[in-house]
Structure 1
Amino acid sequence: MDDIVRFQTRFLYIALILLQAIILLFGTDLPYARGLSLSKKAPPVISKGVWVTCFSEKKVLYSKEAALELIEFCKNSGISEVYIQLYRGGQAYYDSKIVDRAKYENMLKESGVDVLDFLLQEAQKNKIKVFAWVNALSVAQNKKADIIVKFGDKVLTRDQYLRPSMKGENVNKTDNYYLRDNQLFLEPGDPAVAEYTLAIVAEIISRYPAISGIHLDYARYPYPIPFLPDSRFTRYGLSYGYGASSVTRFKEKTGINPLFLLNDEKNILLWDSWKREQVTSLVEKISKYLKSASKDKLLSCAVVPFPERAYSAAFQDWPGWLEKGIVDYVVLMNYTKDNKLAKETIKSALSQRGMGKVFVGMGNFLMKDDPALLSEQYRITSDLKPDGIVFFSYDDVSNDPTLGRR
């Protein structure tokens, strides 16, 4: 019996060696070889990106030297994606013919050339993607933004008291209890706003074909504090979406005046769905345009990191966008010094990938004086295996000598 056992053991050993040799020669495509690869599957690569603000102290678009410094930083840090802010506060930081270009003219005067063209050339040489960062529905504190001058302040979204979103405007006793935003938001339910925003995106893509895609910011309604779970609770807080055009269109479609829905639970949910649809419609129009211009152009969006709050308070249904393939990926604005909260938020968000991807935006600016906390949060984030990590912002990480080793 011992001889038989030894023979069987030796036979199995030789058969295993032969099978391994076949796998090495032909790969694991053969039906009987699948799952038997000798080498472990390589872990997914987590891409790294960085946000570059238009008010960066590095003044990236003001000289070729500054642009090259950014490229070198990316190469040394393993960063493959740059999100550069080109439209903010109703002002263009690019060669625009349709919006206020005073900022661009200042850049041109200082550099003598369009540095963005140069940056895109250098980025392509080094296989770095550059995305146009566009603040979609915020015009900051610019009451003279072109869109307001052209269409009037009716394009601004308003709360249930018909006030614009910026604190200090039409102050009443509620301001003692609720924190309004420090900027003006446009009304996505106004067709003029959608048309204007789409024109900006189209102009950027047309003028700079080497741009890898569009990165939307503020593709949402204002996010007041404390936030409301839905519009049933407007007596206890603030809710937006009451811009003139959106209210009129909703009334025409449903026969319901959203300003009189306080105790009408059924129709309040209908109103909230309407507001969510206005934001989604804007993002979808941009998505369709991008894909028609080039299938290679990507659309991403910086989002409120908590899926349920984004959905119910900011009316930013980014899980739905991913599910339907409207955006290629989202970047969570996961800005916190609480590493436990950071971890739980990421875990929740990663379950919402749908047809797209979920990147995590880290608030380096909060932890630049606490490298140990920052390093630990980066480790936590990486261990959860998001599709990418984006640092906010370039100014806050450009002097970090350890970034390239993470």
Structure 2
Amino acid sequence: MTESPVDAALKVDAPREPVQRAEQTLETPPEEQPTRVQVSERAQPAAPLAEAARESQNQPVLTPEASPAQQPTQPEPTPPPPRAQAAAAPPVEPRLEGKPDVQQAPEPEIRVTPAPVPPQPRPAPPQAPEPRPVSKPVPRPQLEIKSAPVRPLEAKPAVEPKTLKPAEAAPAVALKPAQPAAIQEEPQPASLPKPEPRPEPPPVVGPLQSDPALRGLWVDAFGPGFKTPGEVDRLIQDARAMNINTLFVQAVKRGDCYCDNSLFPRTEDPAVPAGFDPLADVLAKAGAQGIRVHAWVIPTAVANRAVRYPVTHPQHVVNAHGEGTEQDWLTRNAAGAVWAGNDQQLDLGNPEARAYVVEGVRSLTAAYGVDGVQLDRVRYPDPSGAVQDWGYNAGAVAAYQAETGTAEMPAPADARWITWRRERVNALVSEVAQAVRGARAGAVMSVAAITYGAGPGSRDAFTRTRTYSEVLQDWPSWLASGQVDLVVMMNYKREARADQARDFDTWNRFAASVKGRGQVAAGTALYLNTAAENLAQARRVVELGMDGWVGYSYRTPELGVEEGRKAGDQAFRELSSLLVGEKP
């Protein structure tokens, strides 16, 4: 939601400086911002959300392969030893089939000393047939022959070839080419049982798939989002994709209304086509999809330095009751300054200004079938120092003096003056709640609440927080008294920072402890966190059992969009997938 430029300047918890706050805020985003990269017609942020912020607050180890020199050397196949070639011999007898050749020769008395035969290598494994290399002749053994009388050969009768009968013929042996040795496999059982199918993993359930009861988005008017019929169509489509059931649509931004029928004048924002009623269109299209719509109203801020279009409507409060008018309703600080950062704001201590806000909200609620109204920035501006020093509108001071019977100008640190101003904030909440419930039965009254600094551990500790002492907001009392039905904390913390992540949880636990008969929801700063960090925060909200989760904002759904590194459409789809998960 929106914040003062002071809030926008520094949106994180940090040491305070004069005028500017260290809390990241949602309240004062600039009016017009450069439009981010758009992938489709969907709303894109018009500028870094730091200005539009509301109140605040990631080579395989290559195992080197062995180099060729390191690879184990495979022995080259050793060719079979060459066969010994027979020396020239006298004619031999016919070869008997199936028998070795027989040669008749002299039989000298001889002693044979064979030449050394080198050890034969182990034959290589049989391989597929391939051309044999030509065998080289092997030297014959050297014969040592002793002298001896050689007897003449005795003639022997010729041996006639013996004809074998067929029955005696040896069967021919068919030689087959060598085959590679078959790889022996492990013996397998005759039959193996069929493996049971593995069960599929259960679907991943996102935190917003069915819980919590309230799943919402803030839809701001500081940039695109719901200003044209096409933007509204995309908004409803995106809300359904994220399983959102409630939209907080910024109906009243700075004294003007994105609607046609209310006491607040129609906006002069040039992004809204003539004759188009944004609030009415959202209500019609969201209602058809079962999505609730709450009118988000800023009752205090009425002007901003960054507005790039003129505000000319004579009934606009800044023209009718602004600086220099007879009935000036603008708040001032003790030094007389009228600009609280980049904003001018109404003084809640001025009775007429407060009555104008109440009547404006009543008229809007009566004219439109809204499901609820949410007040934002219902507090005093951030102080210039440690003590709240705003509230010095002339009408407000006069009212204080009349009620307390003093004629003196109260000092900022005056305890009675501080209490009186805090009660003016309480009074506005009470009066608006009555008007809303009177105009539309069943309408939900809610506030967007501050969570500055570390979260308190008890109701008493809350009175020592900056929320209570500096901006004078006592939202736990509004729950206790029943003035509001719902408090949506602007629990804007960076998950990447351990201290802020801790504060996020502390504030959530505190809210759950003081809700009484009301409801409490955690509003998270989507624009300050990555998609995974937003998922982590949403999960903890659901695990704690809170009544709702609301994301700020639809226009800037994660840190990458805020920093200009990612398109809004892509970021929204990724976040939706994480928050909803896989549907069973």
Count of residues in correspondence between the two structures? 330
2:568 aligned with 1:403 = no
1:250 to 377, 384, 400: 400
Q: Is the 8 A contact 1:95 1:104 kept in 2?
A: no
2:451 aligned with 1:305 = yes
Evaluate the alpha carbon distance shift between residue 270 and residue 372 of structure 1 in structure 2; reply closer, same or farther with a 3 A threshold: same
2:321 aligned with 1:151 = yes
Evaluate the alpha carbon distance shift between residue 203 and residue 104 of structure 1 in structure 2; reply closer, same or farther with a 3 A threshold: farther
2:249 aligned with 1:84 = yes
Residue 160 of structure 1 is matched in structure 2 by 334
In structure 2, stretches of 5+ residues that fail to align are 1-209, 453-461, 495-499, 558-571
Evaluate the alpha carbon distance shift between residue 113 and residue 350 of structure 1 in structure 2; reply closer, same or farther with a 3 A threshold: same
| Same amino acid, percent of matched pairs | 28
CA RMSD of aligned residues (A): 2.5
Which structure: greater helix fraction? Answer: 1
Point out the more displaced range, 187-196 or 118-127: 118-127
Q: Distance in 2 between matches of 1:385 and 1:91?
A: 37
Deviation at 1:371, TM superposition (A): 2.6
Tell me the alpha carbon deviations over residues 107-157 of structure 1, each in whole angstroms, 9 at most, x when there is no partner. 232xx5434323212222222110111111112416968223223433112
Point out the more displaced range, 182-191 or 319-328: 182-191
2:474 aligned with 1:324 = no
Q: Distance in 2 between matches of 1:218 and 1:316?
A: 10
2:217 aligned with 1:217 = no
Q: Is the 8 A contact 1:324 1:354 kept in 2?
A: no
1:49 to 216, 222, 227: 216
Q: Is the 8 A contact 1:87 1:134 kept in 2?
A: yes
Tell me the alpha carbon deviations over residues 302-326 of structure 1, each in whole angstroms, 9 at most, x when there is no partner. 1112543222211111111111111
Residue 37 of structure 1 is matched in structure 2 by none
Residue 233 of structure 2 is matched in structure 1 by 68
1:123 to 269, 286, 293: 286
Larger Rg: 2
Evaluate the alpha carbon distance shift between residue 351 and residue 282 of structure 1 in structure 2; reply closer, same or farther with a 3 A threshold: same
Q: Is the 8 A contact 2:366 2:440 kept in 1?
A: no
Q: Distance in 2 between matches of 1:129 and 1:383?
A: 24
Q: Which has the higher contact order (CA 8 A, sep 6+)?
A: 2
Q: Is the 8 A contact 1:141 1:183 kept in 2?
A: yes
> What pairs with 1:223-242 in structure 2 (closer than 5 Å)?
223-224=382-383, 228=386, 234=387, 238-242=388-392
Residue 509 of structure 2 is matched in structure 1 by 347
In structure 1, stretches of 5+ residues that fail to align are 1-42, 167-180, 229-233
Residue 372 of structure 1 is matched in structure 2 by 532
Amino acid at match of 1:195: A
Deviation at 1:91, TM superposition (A): 2.0
TM-score by length of 1: 0.75
Q: Distance in 2 between matches of 1:300 and 1:343?
A: 21
Residue 114 of structure 1 is matched in structure 2 by 277
Q: Is the 8 A contact 2:302 2:317 kept in 1?
A: no
Evaluate the alpha carbon distance shift between residue 262 and residue 152 of structure 1 in structure 2; reply closer, same or farther with a 3 A threshold: closer
Residue 472 of structure 2 is matched in structure 1 by 315
TM-score by length of 2: 0.53
Residue 170 of structure 1 is matched in structure 2 by none
Amino acid at match of 1:196: Y
Secondary structure, in 3 states, of the residue corresponding to 2:484?
A: coil
Q: Is the 8 A contact 2:217 2:551 kept in 1?
A: yes
Residue 298 of structure 2 is matched in structure 1 by 135
Tell me the alpha carbon deviations over residues 301-355 of structure 1, each in whole angstroms, 9 at most, x when there is no partner. 1111254322221111111111111111111111110311211122222222133
Residue 189 of structure 1 is matched in structure 2 by 349
Tell me the alpha carbon deviations over residues 204-227 of structure 1, each in whole angstroms, 9 at most, x when there is no partner. 11221x21111111111012365x
